[in-house]
Structure 1
Amino acid sequence: MILLSTSRLILSPPLRSEAGELLDYYVRNRVHLKPWEPTKTDDFFTAIAMEKRIHDMTCKMEAQQSLHLILRDRATKTIIGECGFTHIMRGPFQACHLGFSLDHASEGKGLMHEGLRCAIDFVFSRLGLHRIMANYRPENRRSHALLQRLGFEQEGRAASYLMIDGEWRDHVLSSLINPVERRQEERPGA
């Protein structure tokens, strides 16, 4: 089992036994996450739905199509966020999409930056991916600042990209290239 850690966080794939804790995370952040995520019906906020979600994530991880991690506060062991590297594509692309969310009470402390740095290092070094793509709504200043701080570069803007909170929303498209591979590409004679 994958277990990553930082000075303040423990990152691990969600287990079925953690469905209640993950559900609690989503319930307490329902309003906070609503403007940034696809609409979730009331059915999403049930133990059965969360167990199914964890089962689906586990199946996709076993098929090497994604990596899902929950972020726990090292001191309190509370789930404070999650991140997912989804739609892993192999072959000549070697890329994935990154999504993440953080508990409203944990914002502004650098925790997501700390967790994503650790997870991104794992994705590049252990999964061998070349590119991580992350897209965000232009008004989401926190995500913009976080991704910029992590080294993501803006690649464009997509009109009506995703149905978020009941409406088609524009998104900024960004990506991060594996820094080891980027350095190799930039070497003379490479």
Structure 2
Amino acid sequence: MATTQLGNSASLRVFIRKPTDDDWQELLLLHQRSEEFHFPWVCPPLNEQECKAYITRCQNEDFEGLLICHASQNKIIGVVNLRQIFYRAFQNAYLGYYIDVDFAGQGLMSEGIRLAIERAFYTLGLHRVEANIQPENKPSINLVKRLGFTKEGFSQRYLKINGEWRDHERWALTVENWG
């Protein structure tokens, strides 16, 4: 099935695109290969049914699931999600992301998230993107800092991840502070 690349991949090492029904196997392998690397920060789909349900969820109006693909290898290397998209007076989405363990630490996640933020602000028309990150997840906190996010607060037992309620720092970026 043909896919549509989103963003300018000519000058970047990655591009983003919406998932298709055919992507579930490649996503599942990425998730399984990277499961230990992501623990305890995220809990990606780890079986066929969950991967297919994720791809279906990406069709919802309030959820923008994007695959980060390596430009030269045309391979899925990560995921960026804009969840709970609100319009009207709020114009906000919650940002989540993760990368394949084999591509971590190369700056590719930053490039993919930049493309997703561009899409959030200039295609979806959002005003604000918020990332909630566990305080111990220093690489993720450093990533959003590099992208210009501002720490807004701390939420105790904010999200239940891997069966435990976990504290999170709240980081946000508005369109006025982007770029």
Settle same-fold status: TM greater than 0.5: yes
1:86 and 2:91 matched: no
Task: Please identify, of 159-168 and 170-179, the stretch whose mean Cα deviation from structure 2 is larger.
Answer: 159-168
How many Å separate the matches in 1 of 2:162 and 2:22?
A: 29
Give the match for residue 188 of structure 1: none
Which residues in structure 2 correspond to 1:149-168 (within 5 Å)? 149-168=146-165
1:48 and 2:49 matched: yes
Deviations along 1:18-40, one digit per CA (max 9) or x if unpaired, are 111111111111111121024x6
- 8 Å contact from structure 2 (residues 57, 63) kept in 1: no
Give the match for residue 187 of structure 1: none
How many Å separate the matches in 2 of 1:86 and 1:49?
A: 17
1:36 and 2:33 matched: no
- 8 Å contact from structure 1 (residues 88, 96) kept in 2: yes
- 8 Å contact from structure 1 (residues 5, 11) kept in 2: no
Give the match for residue 175 of structure 2: 178
How many Å separate the matches in 2 of 1:110 and 1:178?
A: 22
1:4 and 2:7 matched: yes
Cα pair distance change 1:28/1:147, threshold 3 Å: same
- 8 Å contact from structure 2 (residues 156, 166) kept in 1: yes
Q: In structure 1, which of residues 116, 121, 134 is the aligned counterpart of residue 118 of structure 2? A: 121
Deviations along 1:69-109, one digit per CA (max 9) or x if unpaired, are 10111112221100001101011001010000011121111
Q: In structure 2, which of residues 135, 138, 146 is the aligned counterpart of residue 138 of structure 1? A: 135
Deviations along 1:126-171, one digit per CA (max 9) or x if unpaired, are 1111110101000101010000011110000001111122221110
> TM-score by structure 1 length?
0.85
Task: Say which SS state the counterpart of residue 126 (structure 2) adopts.
Answer: coil
Q: Alignment length, in residue pairs?
A: 174
Q: In structure 1, which of residues 1, 24, 31 is the aligned counterpart of residue 29 of structure 2? A: 24
Give the match for residue 14 of structure 1: 19
Task: Say which SS state the counterpart of residue 142 (structure 2) adopts.
Answer: helix
Task: Work out which of the two has the higher radius of gyration on C-alpha atoms and give 1 or 2.
Answer: 1
1:69 and 2:66 matched: yes
Question: 5+ residue gaps in structure 1?
Answer: 184-190
How many Å separate the matches in 1 of 2:139 and 2:78?
A: 15
RMSD of equivalent CA atoms: 1.8
Task: Say which SS state the counterpart of residue 49 (structure 1) adopts.
Answer: helix
How many Å separate the matches in 2 of 1:76 and 1:2?
A: 14
Q: Normalized per residue, which structure has more helix?
A: 1
> TM-score by structure 2 length?
0.90
How far did residue 50 of structure 1 move? 1.5
How far did residue 49 of structure 1 move? 2.7
